[in-house]
Structure 1
Amino acid sequence: MSVEDRYFEGLFAGSDDPWAFRQRWYEQRKRAITLASLPRRRYRAIFEPGCANAELSAALAECCDRLLCCDTASAAVALARTRLSLFDHAEVRHGRLPGDWPDESFDLIVLSEIGYYLDADDLQQVIRRAAQSLTADGQLLACHWRPTIDGCPLNARQVHDLLHEHLQLPRLVLHQEADFILELWSREPRSVAALEGLR
């Protein structure tokens, strides 16, 4: 069973930034690495489930024509809507995965620190829905904290192994360090340099 909504509601009841996304250098640095890992300068449509208070979302909004975010915690949705209020092309919905996956297409889906809150069955449903939602040149980026999190059904390695197994797409980016793992898969297998005609 995936982690229940009350867990996340409890986190946001105590703080508007329960993971210290704004204050901690670790989070700021990871966000910069995430953005630098994107093979494109701009995307048509990005989907970021589990947006929390939208610190990463605000950065993603700068590089797309449409941004859709969602979160299962109503407090997070309210915070994200406030954070993204300056972006007319950004929308935040209240929803729980996998059931509330949007019936839309995206050329980038970002799963940041969300996969291990799902059990294996729910995560596989999310992966299937993501694969169906990706455009012909679509990409999926996943980034997760590597140490075990108490109460989570999966760890980062299990999440990324399931993604790699079930997406069955070329992997363009792999960044791994003691704290987190980041990978990006793409229907367009050519590298950034290859797309610019450099190889």
Structure 2
Amino acid sequence: MPSLLPPEQQGRLLRACFEHKHRRPDPWGHAVDPYEAFKYAQTLACVPRRQYRRIVDIGCSEGTFTHLVAEAHPAADVLGVDISERALTRARSRATAAGREITFEALDVLTHSPRHRFDLAFCCELLYYLGRNDRLSLGCARIAALLAPGGMLVLVHPWPESRGLYRPFDDNTALILHSEQVWTTSHRPFAVTVYERT
């Protein structure tokens, strides 16, 4: 199990797995799957209405959702981070082709952090790759630490598994639960959960 390894070794193993997965473009169909399009639309609708200066999409893959975030918040500096360089190369090419100023960086959330703090952070379909118990707690603490005071964290994961994944956020005294919406009518139920850093 990868999470039994030290964080650096776990990161190397996950990077190799995702580089292999991204041998072909869009391996999960993020850009073409109607379920993903629906989930993205619901996620953006759950974001509290306010001005955001810095936004990060953690685990951005090839940047499909990151582009929608940049479109929805054109005045913000948007950063997409992922562990796969292959995915990021495609994300950068797509941004260039679309004429969008989005920054994409390689980053392992267990061992490295971006240089800035963010007003808005998205973490979608990522936490279950971190492992359980101490490793999940470490990843969640590092994600929470990316938020500026008053910053919003938007999590999107399968329901009801998301409730177990989010326990470290629930236990974090620097965060309060802002909202949670659950969609159970699709073939893969999911929750969009929003926390605010106090």
Sort the TM-score into its range (normalised by shorter chain).
Answer: 0.7 to 0.9
Q: Residues 40-59 of structure 1: CA distance to partner in whole angstroms, max 9, x if unpaired?
A: 25411011121001111001
Q: 1:70 aligns with which of 54, 68, 81?
A: 81
Identity of aligned residues (%): 27
User: Equivalents in 2 of 1:36, 1:65: separation in Å?
Assistant: 17
RMSD: 2.0
Normalised by the length of structure 2, the TM-score is 0.82
Tell me, which stretches of 5 or more residues in structure 1 are unaligned? 148-154, 189-199
Query: Is 2:193 the partner of 1:183?
Result: yes
Contact 1:169 1:185 in 2 (8 A): yes
Q: How does 1:8-157 map to 2 (within 5 A)?
A: 8-13=18-23, 15-62=24-71, 63=73, 64-85=75-96, 86-88=99-101, 90-120=102-132, 121-146=134-159, 155-157=161-163
Residues 122 and 104 of structure 1: CA distance in aligned 2, closer, same or farther (over 3 Å): farther
Residues 9 and 100 of structure 1: CA distance in aligned 2, closer, same or farther (over 3 Å): same
Which shows bigger deviation, 99-108 or 120-129? 120-129
Contact 2:141 2:168 in 1 (8 A): no
Shift of 1:166: 2.5
Q: How does 1:169-180 map to 2 (within 5 A)?
A: 169-178=175-184, 179-180=189-190
User: Equivalents in 2 of 1:157, 1:6: separation in Å?
Assistant: 29
Normalised by the length of structure 1, the TM-score is 0.81
Residues 82 and 186 of structure 1: CA distance in aligned 2, closer, same or farther (over 3 Å): same
User: Equivalents in 1 of 2:129, 2:106: separation in Å?
Assistant: 17
Shift of 1:122: 3.3
Q: Residues 73-112 of structure 1: CA distance to partner in whole angstroms, max 9, x if unpaired?
A: 1110101111222222x21011212112213110011101
Tell me, which stretches of 5 or more residues in structure 2 are unaligned? 4-9
